[in-house]
Amino acid sequence: MTPFAFHVARDCAEALSLGAASGARFIGGGTNLVDLLRQNVESASKLVDVSRLAANIHEVGNGALLVDASVKNSALAAHPMVRGRYPMLSRALLAGASAQIRNMATVGGNIMQRTRCAYFYDVDGARCNKRQPGSGCDAIGGFNRYHAILGVSNDCVATHPSDMCVALAALAALVHLVGPEGERTVPLAEFHVLPGASPQIETVLRPGEMITAIELPPATPAMANSEYRKVRDRSSYAFALVSVAAGLEVVGGKIAEARIALGGVAAKPWRATRAEAALRGLPATRANFLSAAEEELTKAQPLEGNAFKIGLVQRTTAAVLESLAGERA
Amino acid sequence: MTITINGSDYAVPYDSRVSLLDMLRERLSLTGTKLGCNQGACGACTVLLDGERVLSCLTLAAQADGRDVLTIEGMQGADGSLHPLQKAFIEHDGLQCGYCTPGQICSAVAMARELRRGDPSHVTANLAAGPDGPTREEIRERMSGNLCRCGAHNGIVEAIEEMLGREAA
Ligand SMILES: Cc1cc2nc3c(=O)[nH]c(=O)nc-3n(C[C@H](O)[C@H](O)[C@H](O)COP(=O)(O)OP(=O)(O)OC[C@H]3O[C@@H](n4cnc5c(N)ncnc54)[C@H](O)[C@@H]3O)c2cc1C
Ligand code: SF4
Ligand code: FES
Ligand code: FES
């Protein structure tokens, strides 16, 4: 680890001015950043601790829920309004990491966490375009069981590892940002970007900009009737092979609204808009769920080690939607 | 710039790279807290920060400034007697080599509070209603952040069940 200064930000304005220095990095819980600094994947000259900024969850005028970026993952998962109105979000958070890590991890840090691609971490032994642009990608042709099947490029096939973000994408959450040029909001589903020829660029966040909050839109029936299912190599404390966040509203046997997002398949939480559109107005049957999921994956580009993800995503999506249809029927 | 550890105040290390775990072990000789993976994957380094369980290997000491840390050394009673959960671990063979034990004990003490508070877990069937009491399934899921290389998990779960049962009684 290279030496760095450490400052605690007392308010947003102070965080922004401290964070404007070159080499400065925001730190939330540190559960990802401390690890990456220690392994020399990343470096910093200054850490700006944003974990002590206000950490509130409150309802705003129209019934939307505003969650400050410093709210801990465990606090968000346990919040009564989240459990009641957006169960897929509580479920996604509770499926992630361990109780200790959820107590430390912040909402902002969770969104910004980096890939778990083992080659990305292997500073001395592996080539990685994300870590060192232009050096190559050892995952392509290497061990790629955990890697992406959608939105991949010839330069990077890494996945975004967050469970929380998959639910946020399905809920159409907004990310609130503030930076040197002022405030703006970006839909969570557009916050992370696909790798293309520059996998080192992972989000639309600008230099010096920070996440201040996420906004959950007023709950619809499909948000309230929602689930998160995670498939992994052990039943707890493991990253997803694939995961599905889904919400469903069935009226008179026909699908009024389906919300679906996929995890473990791309460099971003993947909102399955094609499948959602395909399902609208159809009867809520397993066959329809399966063919919608198939349609979403027609453009999948599997690697040697992860072709199983295509079928796994289809079956998991269909199973989740079936159980949601059952609960409403 | 001080951290309260087991009731005593200590200065935050000058070098901001020092983890809370290294501060405890290397600078204060509080070696009860164990170093396993040093990357968040095992739970051996679990301590309580302001009453909540966290991993001291991924916590910079500077992040604990002004806060209250409780380690395994602080678990015993004022008269030096073992914490009830420590006794239960001995009775139920909740350990073999003992390396993961301090982390398990700290983790379980905080977990008991989370359960009492009604916090849900991944296996809680009814999210809105909260956990259906301290079932084995709930305990196993909630303790999944603490690995035991010796495989003493059955004894660990039994010891925790006993502690939670006594609390409920
Ligand atoms: C062993 C292990 C297992 C895990 N398993 C899972 C899992 O199964 N599922 C899952 O989803 N996650 C998992 N995680 C990852 C964990 O969820 C993330 O590490 C955590 O959410 C990051 O949050 P943090 O606050 O600790 O971020 P930090 O480590 O503090 O920061 C991460 C990044 O976010 C930036 N950042 C922080 N706050 C802000 C802000 N407000 N604005 C802009 N940038 C900011 C930092 O600069 C840094 O780049 C696991 C982690 C570990 C160590
Ligand atoms: S998949 Fe991406 S992160 Fe992994 S080695 Fe290739 S370039 Fe690096
Ligand atoms: S040493 Fe901290 S989790 Fe393993
Ligand atoms: S008792 Fe040996 S690691 Fe748990």
Residue by residue, pLDDT tens for chain A (329 residues) are 999 999 999 999 999 999 999 999 999 999 999 999 999 999 999 999 999 999 999 999 899 999 999 999 999 999 999 999 999 999 999 999 999 999 999 999 999 999 999 999 999 999 999 999 999 999 999 999 999 999 999 999 999 999 999 999 999 999 999 999 999 999 999 999 999 999 999 999 999 999 999 999 999 999 999 999 999 999 999 999 999 999 999 999 999 999 999 999 999 999 999 999 999 999 999 999 999 999 999 999 999 999 999 999 999 999 999 999 996 44
Per-residue pLDDT, averaged over B67-82, amounts to 95
CB contacts, 8 Å: A323 with chain B? none
pLDDT at B167: 77
| Ligand 3 centroid distance, CA of A226 (Å) | 34
Chain B residue numbers with beta carbons less than 8 Å from the beta carbon of A84 are 127-128
Are B50 and B97 found together in one domain?
A: no
Domain match, B90 and B152 both: yes
- One domain for residues B51 and B104: no
Let me know if residue A142 belongs to a domain. no
A78 and B141 within 8 Å at the Cβ level: the answer is no
The answer to whether position A317 is within a domain reads: yes
Give the CATH number for residue B112: 1.10.150.120
**Residue at A117 is within a domain:** no
Which of A17, A33, A51 delimits the end of a domain? A51
* Number of independent structural domains in chain A: 2
List A residues 91-120 in contact with B (Cβ-Cβ < 8 A).
Answer: 91, 94-95, 97-101, 103-104
pTM: 0.98
- pLDDT, residue B32, reads 98
The verdict on B122 and B139 lying in the same domain is yes
Alpha-carbon gap: A216 to the closest alpha carbon of chain B (Å): 18
Q: Does A287 touch chain B (CB under 8 A)?
A: no
DSSP, res A203: B
Chain B residues touching A39 at Cβ < 8 A? 39
Verify that B119 and B94 share a domain, yes or no: yes
Q: Position A75: which residue type? A: A
**CA–CA distances in Å: residue B151 to residues B42, B97, B135, B154:** 13, 10, 20, 8
Residue of A nearest to B131 (CA): A78
Q: What is the pLDDT of residue A327?
A: 61
Contact A146, A306 (CB under 8 A): yes
Residue given tokens 């679906």 in the structure block: A260
* Ligand 1 pocket member A246 (CB < 6 A): no
Q: How far apart are CA B130 and CA A43, in angstroms?
A: 41
Residues B46 and B103 in one domain: no
Do B147 and B90 fall within a single domain? Answer: yes
Instruction: Quote the number of domains for chain B.
Output: 2
On the question of pLDDT at B40 being above 50, the answer is: yes
Whether B137 and B155 share a structural domain: yes
Strand order across the beta sheet in which A46-49 lies? A5-8, A46-49, A24-27
Under a CB-based contact definition with an 8 Å cutoff, are residues B159 and B92 in contact? Answer: yes
Distance A25 CA to ligand 1 centre (A): 13
Domain membership of residue A260 (yes or no) is yes
Containing structural domain, residue B7: 2-75
Domain end (from A51, A72, A89) = A51
pLDDT computed for residue B166 by the predictor: 80
Does residue B39 sit in the same domain as residue B95?
no
Spatial strand order in the sheet of B8-11:
B8-11, B2-5, B68-70, B46-49, B52-55
Report yes or no on A201 lying in a domain.
no
Residue A84 domain-assigned (yes or no): no
Ligand index nearest the alpha carbon of residue B147: 4
Which residues, including other chains, have CB under 8 Å from residue B120's CB and lie 6 or more apart?
A77, A78, A83, A90, A94, B127, B130, B131
Residue A106 near ligand 1, beta carbon < 6 Å: yes
What DSSP string describes A42-54? Answer: S--SEEEE-TTS-
Note whether ipTM > 0.85 here. Answer: yes
CB contact under 8 A, B128 and A101: no
For residue A42, the domain's CATH number is: 3.30.43.10
Does pLDDT of B169 surpass 80? no
Q: What is the model's pLDDT at position B168?
A: 74
Verify that B8 and B63 share a domain, yes or no.
yes
Contact B63 A74 (CB under 8 A): no
Cβ-contact A260, A280 below 8 angstroms: no
Question: Are B70 and B88 part of one and the same domain?
Answer: no
DSSP run (H or E) holding A212: strand A210-216
The residue from B43, B75, B107 where one domain ends is B75
Structural domain harbouring A247? 221-327
Same domain, B112 and B159: yes
Protein residue with least CA distance to atom 3, ligand 3: B40
- The b-or-e profile of A23-61 (16+ CB within 10 A means b, else e) is ebbbbbbbbbbbbbbbbebbebebbbbbbebebebeeee
Which of B75, B98, B132 is at the close of a domain? B75
Q: Which of B41, B75, B109 is the last residue of a domain?
A: B75
Torsion of CA B69, B75, B77, B82, to 10 degrees: -170
Q: Let me know if residue A150 belongs to a domain.
A: no
**For position A293, which CATH number holds?**
3.30.390.50
Residue A118, in any domain of the structure: no
When scoring A88, A93, A98 by the number of chain B Cβ atoms within 10 A, the one with the most, hence best to mutate, is: A98
